[in-house]
Structure 1
Amino acid sequence: MDIRLMRALVLAADRPTFSEAATALSITQPAFTKQIQQLESLVGMPLFRRGRHGSVLTAAGSALLADARAIVELADRFEARVKRMSSGDEGYLAVGFGLSSIAVAPRAIAAFRSAFPGVAVRLEDMSSAAQIEGVRRGDLDIAFARMPAPRDLCAVPVLSDRLVVAYPEAWDVPPEALSPAEWLQAHPLVRLSPGRGPGLAGQAGRYLADVGAPFDVIQEADDLQTVLALVAAGVGAAIVPESARNIAPSRVSMHRLEGESAAWTIGVIWRADNATPVVRAFLEELARISER
């Protein structure tokens, strides 16, 4: 059934004349009358009694009006929702992030929620490798993950991070007192388990290999907060991202590590075939935040 015919029935019932109903639809009266006649032909009986002073619903027209009105209202709501979704004003967005993006990702989400309150957002903390797989599977729409991104995905760099040595502030000899290799050889390390943070483990491993520092890991933990708590307790030092300053206990000091292998870039990553209006709206909002 053509929704236009049901809309014509509703408008004809709500207005005194077919002429006024036709004006409401921005069509000519003959075109409107033809729509009513098409509907009457389908029903097999007249829906209006037409006279010199306008039109009045017949019993058949009255019987169909309530259903027609409900369908037209539902169609209007559907059309309005489609427009909101096509403009990015409504929908769903799944975003992955890691420690390196803990400052920018929540800030971007907050700004996006404010600009697009009709979009439901899910934010998940996971490693870069898990985020990449999530984007590929379609579980995530956006990832804040380590660059370079795989060639089958789209990416834009958004921030940089680097390695630091986190150590108890009570230790007498800070890292800057010796060369990095000498200092790291002289102190036991606590680390995030490679399974939980493969990106960090790989970055730290490359740095240690570059400076020629053998290392002694005496404790592993499954989250970075626990790693930093162990450092604060004096169990050992840890090589962590500089962004971990945001969550480090007050009793933990940090020293930046230099060199190419100590730094990396975080990008926002998505699938080209998943560039929905909501995804595009988020990327535009992130670009605005980055410009501030």
Structure 2
Amino acid sequence: MDIDQLRTFCQLALDCNYRVASEHLCITQSALTKKIQRLEAHIGLVLFERGRKGACLTPAGQVLLPEAQRLVDNFSAFQALTYRVAEGITGSLKMGFGISSYTLAPDYIVRFKSQFPHIHIELNDIPSQVQTDLLLRGELQLGFSRLPVSSPPLKGIKLKSDHLVIAVHRSHTIDEDNPWDALEHLDYLRLTPVRGKGLSKQIDKLLIEENQSINPVQEADDIATLLALVSANTGFTIVPVSVGHIANDSVRLIPLSSPSAVWDIGLIWNERLDCAARDRFIQFVVREPHANL
């Protein structure tokens, strides 16, 4: 028994005529008859009585028809679903994002979902190194993370650059060309290194390049807390400029010109793993860049 035989059974039951049913199925009457005969032989039941009025369902055929129709409908729905999944217009994606893509990732997802509403997306705040591990294991399909990617077979495309700034309370007079002297009397606040390893390394590299040796007085597990502490005038911190939108008006952001203050942010994925929905998202990002890039 196969789905084609069941489809033939349902069509003949609907048309009650071998010629009409064969035309609807685009096969010959002989081929239709053989399909019905093979189905009847397989199940050991006669499904149709053939007479002057055409093909009439037997009592057994009447009982089996609703279930046969349900199977045919379900198979048709399955075929349609497989097409949508293969085309990347239906499916699910797990994505990660980090500090520097705090607004970038959600914006892309909202715009993508407006065009592809049947792709379910799960987005989580995940440090860059953890994103890399999850992508390699196939537990994450896409990551908004810092570039360059260091572990083949990961691949990435650049979306934007981010850079470090000093966040300090506006009550302090700071010379933007030489901010470090004015910061000597202020406490240094930093993000817990384990929470943002990439950012921590970036800041350490910057401080070495600027010949600055400062020890943190307080740590926090998230950027929002750091900026709240700065807003309360408890010290200064170093953060990506991309998170400046969550700082209130009492916080001043001072740009840093050191080459180590700048890094690239991109979309990364594991090119050895196939995922049509992922590829559809990548195509969307390439085709429709972020308005603020």
TM-score by length of 1: 0.94
Aligned residue for 1:187, secondary structure, equals coil
> Matched residues in 2 for 1:47 and 1:250: separation?
79
- Structure 1: segments with no counterpart, 5+ residues: none
Matches within 5 A, 1:112-261: 112-149=112-149, 150-171=151-172, 173-176=173-176, 179-261=178-260
Aligned residue for 1:290, secondary structure, equals coil
Q: CA deviation at 1:51?
A: 2.4
Letter in 1 for 2:154: L
Q: CA deviation at 1:138?
A: 2.4
Whether the 8 Å contact between 1:184 and 1:215 is mirrored in structure 2 is no
Q: Deviations over 1:76-126 (max 9, x none)?
A: 111111122112222111111112112221111001111111111111112
Letter in 1 for 2:169: P
> Matched residues in 1 for 2:87 and 2:118: separation?
11
Aligned length: 290
Which range is displaced more, 161-170 or 71-80? 71-80
1:94 aligns with 2:94: yes
Letter in 2 for 1:129: Q
Whether the 8 Å contact between 1:93 and 1:120 is mirrored in structure 2 is yes
Q: CA deviation at 1:131?
A: 1.4
Letter in 2 for 1:179: N
Letter in 1 for 2:228: A
Whether the 8 Å contact between 1:185 and 1:213 is mirrored in structure 2 is no
Residue in structure 2 matched with residue 78 of structure 1 by the alignment: 78
Q: Deviations over 1:194-240 (max 9, x none)?
A: 01111111000000001101113111100000000111111111110
> Matched residues in 1 for 2:44 and 2:229: separation?
82
Whether the 8 Å contact between 2:91 and 2:277 is mirrored in structure 1 is yes
Q: CA deviation at 1:64?
A: 1.8
Letter in 1 for 2:158: P
Q: CA deviation at 1:184?
A: 4.5
TM-score by length of 2: 0.94
Q: 1:291 to 1:128 in 2, by over 3 A?
A: closer
Residue in structure 2 matched with residue 267 of structure 1 by the alignment: 266
Identity %: 37
Aligned residue for 2:289, secondary structure, equals helix
Q: After TM superposition, what 4+ stretches of structure 1 lie above 3 angstroms from structure 2?
A: 180-187
Residue in structure 2 matched with residue 63 of structure 1 by the alignment: 63
Q: Deviations over 1:23-68 (max 9, x none)?
A: 2222222111110111122133432111233111112222221221
- Structure 2: segments with no counterpart, 5+ residues: none
> Matched residues in 2 for 1:284 and 1:85: separation?
16
> Matched residues in 2 for 1:126 and 1:60: separation?
59
Aligned residue for 1:273, secondary structure, equals coil
Q: 1:189 to 1:291 in 2, by over 3 A?
A: closer
Q: CA deviation at 1:190?
A: 0.7
Letter in 2 for 1:161: D
Letter in 1 for 2:118: G
Letter in 1 for 2:192: S
Whether the 8 Å contact between 1:189 and 1:237 is mirrored in structure 2 is yes
Aligned residue for 2:111, secondary structure, equals helix
Q: CA deviation at 1:154?
A: 1.5
Aligned residue for 1:196, secondary structure, equals coil
Q: Deviations over 1:113-150 (max 9, x none)?
A: 11111111111112111211221222221100111112
Q: CA deviation at 1:185?
A: 4.1
1:25 aligns with 2:25: yes
Which range is displaced more, 114-123 or 160-169? 114-123
Q: 1:281 to 1:13 in 2, by over 3 A?
A: same
